[in-house]
Structure 1
Amino acid sequence: MKNMAQQFITQKLRELTVKEVLEYSKKYNISVSKSEAEAVVKALKKNKENPFDPDGRKKMFKKLASLTSKDTARSVHKLLVKLANEYGVSHWLK
């Protein structure tokens, strides 16, 4: 069941829209501009790394930082952690 849920979440990350990224950033009071959200969405669509594997997540955010900025990558990481907390799966990010 855990594996299936992780696959679902990973697919959802690839399907995020700019509007959704901006809504989540507003909801969690994390600063993300529209252009940053566009870059994030583009990067997530191409992402092949497993966000639940510590090494995969590190590679994913490192690549995102190279495409945007370290601050944007940190902001997206914060969003991921807050969403995981909200849905009770934060332990999957350990």
Structure 2
Amino acid sequence: MKNVAQQLITQKLKQLTTSDIIYYSKKYNIPISKAEAEAIIRALKKNKENPFDSDGRKRMLGKLASITSKDTARAVNKILIKLAKEYGVDHWLE
């Protein structure tokens, strides 16, 4: 069941919109510009890394940092962690 849920979440990450990223950034008080949100969306659509694997998440965020900035990658990581906590699956990110 965990693998199925992780696959669904990973698929959802690839379907996020710029508006979704802006919504979550405001919800969690993490500043992200529209341009950064657009870059995040492009990176997520191309991502082949497993965000639930710590090494995969580091590679994913490293690629994002090279496209945008380290601050943006950190912001995405914070949003991912907060969302995982909100849905009670934060232990999957360890």
Amino acid in structure 2 at the alignment position of 1:55: D
Q: Give the whole-Å Cα distance in 1 for the aligned partners of 2:50 and 2:78.
A: 17
Structure 2 equivalent of residue 36 of structure 1: 36
Could you say what the CA RMSD is over the residues aligned between the two structures, in angstroms?
Answer: 0.3
- The percent identity for this pair of structures is 70
* DSSP-derived class of the 1:21 partner: helix
Aligned length: 94
* Structure 1: 5+ residue stretches without partners: none
Amino acid in structure 2 at the alignment position of 1:51: P
Structure 2 equivalent of residue 60 of structure 1: 60
**Where do 4+ consecutive residues of structure 1 move more than 2 Å?**
none
* DSSP-derived class of the 1:50 partner: coil
TM, length-normalised to structure 2? 0.99
TM, length-normalised to structure 1? 0.99
